[in-house]
Structure 1
Amino acid sequence: MNKKKTISIVIPAYNEAENIPVIAQRIQEVFQSLPGYDYEIIFVADGCTDNSLEIIKGLGKEASVFYLEFSRNFGHQLAIKAGLDYAKGDGIISMDCDLQHPPELIPQLIGKWEEGYEVVYTIRKEDKLLPYEKRITSKLYYRVLNKLSSVELEAGSADFRLLDRKVVNVLKRFEENEPFLRGLVKWLGFSQYAICYEPAQRFAGKTKYSIKIMMRLALQGVTSFSIKPLYMMVYLGFLFSSLSVLYIPYVIYAICSGHGVSGWASLIMTVVFFGGLQLIILGIIGVYIGKMFMQTKTRPNYIVRSTNIKD
């Protein structure tokens, strides 16, 4: 008799008290229709300040529900990474707690995994209910990311994916202090398959992804996989240096003809422009240096305060 395969469901949770019982119930209902599989749900309490942890602990009385409590908020990506590190399943699914990643899609993920794909990831279809500005910035986010980084991510790529155990074993060896998992999974290779899905509306609460967080995530994605921005700064420097040479003949002519070189306002504007450009260039260089500085400290990427997962 073949042993049942185990599916681990990793769910980061930051102040998601209203959503936790609902997503746990819907996952349990999904696996009732999949009797050939065992499952475990791992909630990662990412520095919650509401009663999310108490609710998770209550659910943890069931054998299939486990939790990791962080000592503070370490962020969504590290919460997923911690869940992957602790998961014991043959296949590991990561998904958000707000129910925008529909649990009813899990059988499709497992089906493609059983066909031999080692990474089954999802692509979110465009949500027409989102504000126009939000949809435009989302498209721009992926376009810029793909132009500047060395990995190609489809617009709408989500952290809702199934990874085979061998893929997770490789990811567990990564010790990056700012992991960008969408890019890392794509960079790893293996046989991958994409499933498109219609995003559901958030069940309760407000999104934790502000514009500031999205911009930081985009910057992490670019600087984690490419040094293209540094090359772009070099090319930009050569370009403006070349353009400045074109101004020399005009200066020589003005001096020889006895005319003063006019343009005080344009001169100030040019100085301000190049001053701002230099600050941007220094900022980009600083980001790379800062990443190296933080990585060399070899601090733990996250700290688990408590868990009911046994070794």
Structure 2
Amino acid sequence: MTERAIRGRLKKTGAVLAAAVLVPWIGAAAATAAPIHAPVLRAPVGGYQDLFVPSSMGPIKVQVQWAARGGSAALYVLDGLRAPADHSQWTTDTDVLRQFAGDNVTLVFPVGGRSSFYTDWYRPSSTNQQATTYKWETFLTRELPAFLERYGVSRTNNAIVGASMGGNAALTLAGHHRDQFKFAGSFSGFVHPTFPFWNEAMRAAMWDEGNFNVDDMWGPAGGPTWRRNDATVQAELLRGLPMYVSTGNGLPGPLDLPNGVGNTVNAMVLEQMTAAATQMFRDRIAAGGIAARIDIGNGTHTWPYWQQAIATARPMILDALGVH
């Protein structure tokens, strides 16, 4: 697909992006973290736990499935734009907990952050009376690792993956924090947000998902913060990092049948956009001689495909973390 064709498709489809991402707000009760009086040498052996982690944004709920044999490696799993306030959709809309239940790696699901793009914002959103400034990069790379370290989880032997909103974030966080992450994966991610028309598509999506203002996130379109948070622009930072990037092409299949015609149409449009961005990311890293596994096949912007994607990524993640 030529860049002119991609530009035209994005311009036509960006206006309908908002309709595909509208979701009701789910409130969450504030909680505080239980004190831990002394470090432990090993993570808990298996099992599931809800943690409440202190942060500059207030206590953040983190769902954790501990490594099966008490190992120190961890996989951070990021939600999409619709991220609920009380749970990660990965834990309810996929079988990821079962997939990794026997593996010696701790699964880490940060909860919340809808429309945040898991980044540090300039200021609170000015269009929805947001009380605090999103500081998700700080949380995921400083506050949360420091908290998990007290449970025996490594600060340096981690992988990170995400779907949709979380896909580009997984790549950029890994690129800027190579000392922390040894693998990154993006599933249907918006991996080239500085490309023309993407900023307006994101503006529409974030407005419909909580009345958030994209200008308060990264400032003027195309500025330095936009470029810093663009996986395609920052591709050089990913050189040598094991990566898996996947997207559908917008063509529905059997996995879409339960979703209904309206949802499927929206999911088709969204996935056509992520496919275009993924193609540009693929071309950029190929031109630079940067290795990654990139799959573009049939599918739409829905959880069953992301469940398949993380299953495909699983052996790559375990290998990168040295978990056998």
Question: 1 or 2, which has the higher helix percentage?
Answer: 1
Which has the greater radius of gyration? Answer: 1
TM-score norm. by structure 1 comes to 0.28
